[in-house]
Each structure stands twice: as C-alpha cells, then as structure tokens.
Structure 1
Amino acid sequence: MDRELFEHHLTSAHGRGRAPQGAAIGVAGTRLCGDVVRIALALDDSGRRVGAVGWEAEACGATIASLSAVAELVEGMDLLEVARLGARDVDAQLGGLSAGKFHAAELVADALARALGTAVRERGALAPPADGSPRTLVAMSGGVDSAVVALLAGREQGDAVAVTLELWADEANDGERSCCSAQAVRYARALAHRMGMAHLTLDLRDEFRAGVVTPFLEDHRAGLTPNPCIRCNGHVRLDAMLEFADRLGAATLATGHYARVEHGADGPLLRAAVDAWKDQTYMLAALTPDSLARMRFPLGELTKPQVRELAAEAQLPVASKPDSQDLCFLAGTNRSDFLARHAGIEQQPGEIVDSGGRVLGRHSGHHGYTVGQRRGLGVAAEEPLYVLRTEPARNRVVAGTRAELATTAVPLRGARLHRDGARVDRVKLRYRAKPLPARLVGDPAPGPHRRLEVALEQPVDGAAPGQMACLMEGDVVIGWATIGRPGAVAPQPAAAQSSSSG
C-alpha cells in the first residue's frame, strides 16, 4: 500500500458529503458486518459520462480512503470505462491494500456498480458505436451458459457489454447458490472484466418482489402451482434488460437460454432448442414478438457438452461450474420456510379425502401439494393415489387413483395467441414434460383470450392449475396460457373469445 496516497485520501476524503443533483444511489454493506457505504453518482447532461460523485459512509479507514479514490477517479469518465472498474482497480488507486483490507475495495466497487447501473437506467444515453457495428447487451449470471454467450458475442459482435441483475436479497438465502444475489453479481462482474468487457449492475429487487415473489406467495395461498420463472422472463427481467439496452445504444440482447427464434413474414416466434433436455422455450413463452425481435439466443443450436467445451477451450473458470437447480429466491432455504417467512403461510394440518369426501389421512398444509403429485401423501391404499385437487378454503387435499386423475380437457385462462389457434397441434403442460398432441377448441383467432380449452389426443395425468400451457405447432411456440381449475371455466365461442381481454 502507498502510505502517502492512502493518507491523502483518508484526510482529504474527496466527495464526502456531496449530494449531486439528480444522482443515482448505490448502497453496499450492512451494519451487521460493520461497514455501510452510500455512493451518489450523477451522469452529465449528455448521459454518456459521469458528472459528479458524492458519498457517505459508516466505515473503516480503508473504506473511506477507497471511496475518496474512486470519487476522484471516475468524475468525467465515460460510463462504459467506469463499467470496466472493479475491486482490483479500486485497490490499485491506493497502491494496493493489505489482504485484510481488500474487502473495502470490494464494498466500494459494489456500491459504485449499483449507482452506475441505476444512473444508466434513469438517464443513460449512449449512441451506437460510431463505426456502425452493432452493440450487444449480454445478460450474465456468473454461470457457464451466460459466460459462453459473452464469449461468442465478443467474437462475433466485438462491441458487447455485460449486465447482471440483482433480484433478491434475503439473509436466509445462500447467496453463493443464487444466480441473482449480491455475491452472484460480484462474481459475474469479475468474470466479465476478466473477459475484457464493461459490466453493469441492474437492481430490480423492487420489481422482482412485486412482479414475481408476491404473485408466487398469493398463488400458493390460493392453492395454485405457480411458475415464477415465466413471470420473471415474460414481464420483469427481459423487458427491463431490453429497455436498459436502449440506454446503452445496444440493438440486441443476448442471453444464455437454450432456445431459438424463427423469423417469418408475420414476425418472430420462439422455437425449441437443439438440445431437447436443456430447451427453455417453456420458460420464455410469455415474451412478446416485439421483444423476440431483439433477442439473441446463441446457445439454441448447441448442446450443453458443447457449451462446456467452448468454456474450457477459452479457459473460463466457470467451465465446470454446476447448473443452478433452485428457484433463485429459494436458494439455501425451502419452500415451506419461505412461505412462512414472507407470507405468514404456516403449516396447518388438514384432511386428505377421496373424491367422495371420505377421510383417508392427514396433511400438514394444502399449499405443499400440487395436482398429479404422488409422493408425500402418506396414505396407504390398494393402488397408488395422486392429488386430484386442493381445496384452500377448507384446507383439504383430494386424492384419487390415476384413472380419476386422467383428463383430456384442460381449461386455460389469460391466453395469448400469436397465430391462429387452428395451428396449435401440441401443448406442453410442464417445463420438463414432453409436448402432447392437442388442439384448441373452437380454433380461436390470434390475440388475447380470457378463456380457452385445449383438447388432448391422449389422457394426461392431471394438469396443475397455475402452471403454464405452452401452445405449439411442431417445435414453434404459437402462444401461451395459464392452466385453470377443472370446471372453473368454460370455453366461449370463437367470436366472443377473440374480443376478450387477457
């Protein structure tokens, strides 16, 4: 460490107490760990450079000095150059902190990244590259898939900028296992910088809670089986990144999803990936054609082993990193504890009954069961029993045989079709399930529909209300809808359906 430089920043504290007009705020640290820093960063009138920086802190001397050094460094700097700064650069501005003080540089880098990301989201106005080449925004989670997308974008486009979303913060979670925690953001930033890319943090915690977590909790309370990833991709995460791309002068957004886009005269549609096991079109089905027109899925033509091979060839440290298995906001906890902690949904014992109302056993709470579930019922019977439905108002679980569960008619609500319903020839009712031969009753027209019904060629062992139905023609996604409760909705005539609101 350069002692003279350190003392200069510790005593002069450049930017301390300053509150630039229109500044975006980035906060890092907690009083629990000892240090809390707050950076206020304003872009200049052009929206392309940092104008002024101020900060406040309850922190140790190393953190104070780091804040002063950063404030002095970034004022007047191009925002993409600021986006290339990380903890190592903060450390270098002080001549190198001791190993025991390096956490100060990490804390300041986190706060700077959050402030910059918010400033760009609110006032950024970068123009596309002057040479006419396209700029691509790459969604990076810190995993191998998004890292390879960044690698390919850098090779093919040249001008690629990385963004990582911070979606959730909960002390009960394992931040190391979550793809959207503060730890994940820090790891993705370091990986992007290692690859020579500018990296920005986009804080969507409020939007994620309102648009994904709150509906997830409400659906469980109502006895439904939600799929929060569809809400996240279709209504929160990808739309926000496309708007962010506009601020950065980026024409396209590239992600690590396994999917393809089929471009036709009537606009783009999702198409299943080459790797059927990794295919993620189900999770992306709620994307609008306008969004799809700007999306790029470089992994759609690759298999997972090929992706890992590309990462290994490029010596990326994530080449062998395991895939995330949990919902990002459940990492390190379980669903039951999460529901109790965030919605007050406690385990409440109730009856397991057959379809005639005869009591078969007891359960610990209806929200822990989903239609078609077999394991965990704990009821002895001559033949296997499955969950036929849940009755939230009575806190009951209704169980029956596989024959009782089977159905060829699935009610849908809140449907949206991108093409004529007559083109639908199969439906996917769960993420990992195979598409089933099917048709839409009434051949509905393109557009939104409050209610529809899909008829299956062969019986299926239940369709869980609250899950999504991905409506397909071959391997192309024609539309999507939410599975309704059996008997709760009835199909409407095609003319009435086409005028319904979604």
Structure 2
Amino acid sequence: MSGGVDSSVAAYLLLEQGRHCAGATMRLYRNEDIGLPRFHSCCAQQDIEDAAEVAFQLDIPHRVLDLTAEFREQVIQRFVQGYERGDTPNPCIDCNRYLKFDRLLHIARQEGLVYLATGHYARIVYDRSTGRYLLKKAADTHKDQSYVLYRMTQEQLAHTQFPLGELQKEQVRALAERLGFVNARKHDSQDICFVPDGDYAHFLEQYTGIRYPDGDLLDQAGRTVGRHHGAVRYTLGQRRGLGLAMGAPVYVCGKCMRCNTVTVGPESALYARGLLAEDMNWIIDPPSVPFRVQAKIRYRQAEQWATVTAASETWARLEFDTPQRAVTPGQSAVLYRGDLVLGGGTIREAISL
C-alpha cells in the first residue's frame, strides 16, 4: 500500500473477493537521504499515513517496512552510477525489480501469505499450453504500466496479483470516492520519488558531494563550440539549456564521460536503426531465431515494429523498421506482441544509420 488511490482500491477489491489481506508500506528513504532537512514535511511520510488510514478503514493490519538500506543500495546507488557513466537510468524499474517484487514478496512469503498484490495497471494470466505465466497490458491503455514490470520472473508472476488490471482509472477513483478514502483525489506520482523537484543533477551533487566539472561542448567534427556545466546534466536529444547560437537548432547527440565532453549536432544525428540490449529478461520462452516484435524504448512511447535477434540469453539486437530518435543507453527496450509482454532489457548501445 503506497498511500495512493490505486493500491487502496486494490486492497478493497481483494477483501470483496473474500481474501485475507494485510497491508504493507515500504519506507524507502528519509529526508536526509534526499537532501531535505529532517524537520521538513516529506511526501513519503504523508504516503505512509494515508496508507495506514485506509488500512484502518478497511480493518486490515498494516505494517511499515523499513527498506531504506536496500533502496539506497539497489535503486539510488544504481541511479547515481548510471548517470556517472553516461546512462539515463529508470529507477522505477529497479525498484520493482529489487524491492517490490523481490524483497517485499519474500517478506510476504515468510509471513505465510500466498500473493503480493499491488495497484499496478497490468494483467497476469496463466497459459496452460506452455505452463508459463504471462504479463499483459492493462485494460486501461492510458494507464498501462507493463513497461516497468517487464523484469518479473515466473516465480514472481505466479505469486503476484494486479486487481486493477481490468479497470479504468476513472472507475478506481469513483470507487475510492464512494468508499470515502482519504486519497480518492490524490494526484498520481509523476516524478522520481527521491527527486521530488525533478532536478536530478542537483540531487546527484547533493548525494555524492561531487561538483561535476564543466567541460567542452563539441560539434560532430570534434571542434569545441562551447562549454557545458557537468556532463551528467545533459541527456540524449536535449535541446534547451545548451547556450549555443549555431545558426540552426542543435541537440545533444553523444557524451564521453571519460573525456568530460558533450557532443551536439542536428536532429538527424539522433536517429538510429537499431540497438543492442543487455541483461535481457524473457517472459516467454527465449526465442532461438529472429522474430517480429513491437518495441518501446521509453515509457511514454508508442510501440515500434522491429526484428529482434537473441544474441545470447542476456543480449539481444533490435532492428527497427523505421529509424528511432534518441535511443538512450540506460533506458529499457520492452518487447510486445499485441498486449503481451515478451520481455526486455537495458539499452546499451544504439546502432547508427
């Protein structure tokens, strides 16, 4: 129970099915972890209080689990290390991978509970013909969260339930209002939870104590055209904040963290015909031959047709039918067939035109 409306309604729906439920809220960080004063009102504490109030209303036990150490190691540290090597990481995927569906599920099983249920918008079905559990998109395509769930294993899928998978968001809010939940109209979280103001570069400097040094902005020929203010502040495809007047729009099209340089170029330089993905997780049986998929290379992107070749159990190569803009290392490439999630991996390298 995150403190939001979705997990609250999920708990109610399970109780309506006659399930025995216990609520758990993960404490993931404290103010000092994210650079806030200890006395500052923190959204994380408010979330815990909202979850506890809903649990009280539903008359179910509620626990707060202190997972701050695990979150710091498995999510915040990976986030920092990713940016420092030039990637653009997605910490929500790591949180799901290492905490929600690993550590939290393990705790639930230790308590004698059979399933972990969350308020995610996605569906899990069992395929009797293959003996595998499958992950599918939610009925509400506008709220579908299958992209951030692609790392789930067969064991995790077998012991997880998504009660909201067949519902529309409007139905969930209406039900929460009818029940009088304190969070019925609470806004959905949009930003990285431990970077509440969205300024991830400031968070990196505050967290690490490092002042990331200025360096050269280069054009595609390697000529210096300006200065940047720390390479971690720049992401692939970025146009704003470059401070350059070059007669035509330019975009960040590459970074070298070792040399502390950021390369800019025209928008055409951002397009790639494919990518290499590492650390693959397959929800279906891993393919042995190239096959057609629909792929997303960022959360809000529409799926794009591509051909995938599994180079090994952990590496895959995607070739897109249409060149894609800003294929970004550190983000995830998630593969679909219709509403079925096939698997995915972390983008390591773009394949240029």
For 1:197, the equivalent position in structure 2 comes to 60
Which residue does 1:144 correspond to in 2? 5
- Match runs of 1:198-217 below 5 Å: 198-217=61-80
Distance 1:476 1:424 in 2: 13
The one of 280, 285, 290 equivalent to 2:155 is 290
Map 1:27-426 onto structure 2 (within 5 A): 140-171=1-32, 172-173=35-36, 178=43, 181-264=44-127, 265-266=129-130, 267-332=132-197, 334-418=199-283, 419-421=285-287, 422-426=290-294
Secondary structure at the counterpart of residue 466 of structure 1: coil
Matched to 1:328, the amino acid is C
Query: Are 1:469 and 2:333 counterparts?
Result: yes
CA distances 1:311-363 after superposition (whole Å, capped 9, x unpaired): 11111121111111221111257312211122233242222211111222222
SS at match of 1:282: helix
How far apart, in 2, do the equivalents of 1:354 and 1:474 lie? Answer: 41
Contact 2:31 2:42 in 1 (8 A): no
In the alignment, is residue 452 of structure 1 matched against residue 320 of structure 2? Answer: no
- Alignment partner, residue 303 of structure 2: 435
Give the unaligned 5+ runs of structure 1. 1-139, 489-502
Distance in 2 (CA, whole Å) between partners of 1:290 and 1:423 is 26
Q: Which has the higher mean CA deviation after the structures are superposed, 274-283 or 415-424?
A: 415-424
- Between the aligned partners of 1:230 and 1:377, the Cα distance in structure 2 is 29
Count matched residues: 343
Aligned AA (2:64): T
Offset of residue 480 of structure 1: 1.2
Q: Write the distance in 2 (CA, Å) between the matches of 1:333 and 1:412.
A: 27
> What SS does structure 2 have at the residue aligned with 1:381?
coil
* CA distance in 1: counterparts of 2:221 and 2:196, whole angstroms: 39
- For the 8 Å contact 2:4–2:47, the answer to whether it is kept is no
Q: Percent identity?
A: 36
TM-superposed CA distance for 1:155, in Å, is: 0.9
Could you tell me how far apart the structure 2 residues matched to 1:487 and 1:156 are? Answer: 49
Flag the 1:203–1:371 CA change in 2: closer, same or farther, 3 A: same
Alpha-carbon distance in structure 2 between the residues aligned to 1:254 and 1:144: 14
Q: CA RMSD in A?
A: 2.0
Structure 2 length as normaliser, TM-score? 0.91
**Deviation of residue 431 (structure 1)?**
0.9
Q: Tell me the SS of whatever aligns to 1:261.
A: strand
Asked if 2 retains the 8 angstrom alpha-carbon contact of 1:424 and 1:472, the reply is no
Residue 423 to residue 159, structure 1, CA distance change in 2 (3 Å): farther
- For residue 62 of structure 1, what is the aligned residue in structure 2? none
* Helix, strand or coil at the partner of 1:226: coil
| Contact 1:173-1:332 at 8 Å conserved across structures | no
SS for the counterpart of 1:300 is coil
Give, in whole Å, the separation in 1 of the partners of 2:123 and 2:184. Answer: 23
Structure showing greater relative contact order (alpha-carbon pairs closer than 8 Å, 6 or more residues apart) = 2
TM-score (norm 1): 0.65
Cα shift at 1:470:
0.7
Unaligned runs of at least 5 residues, structure 2: none
Distance 1:444 1:474, change over 3 A: farther
Larger Rg: 1
**Alignment partner, residue 482 of structure 1:** 346
In the alignment, the residues of structure 1 paired with residue 42 and residue 332 of structure 2 have an alpha-carbon distance, to the nearest angstrom, of 26
| 3-state SS in 2 of match to 1:328 | coil
TM-superposed CA distance for 1:366, in Å, is 0.7
Distance (Å, rounded) in 1 between the aligned partners of 2:281 and 2:292: 12
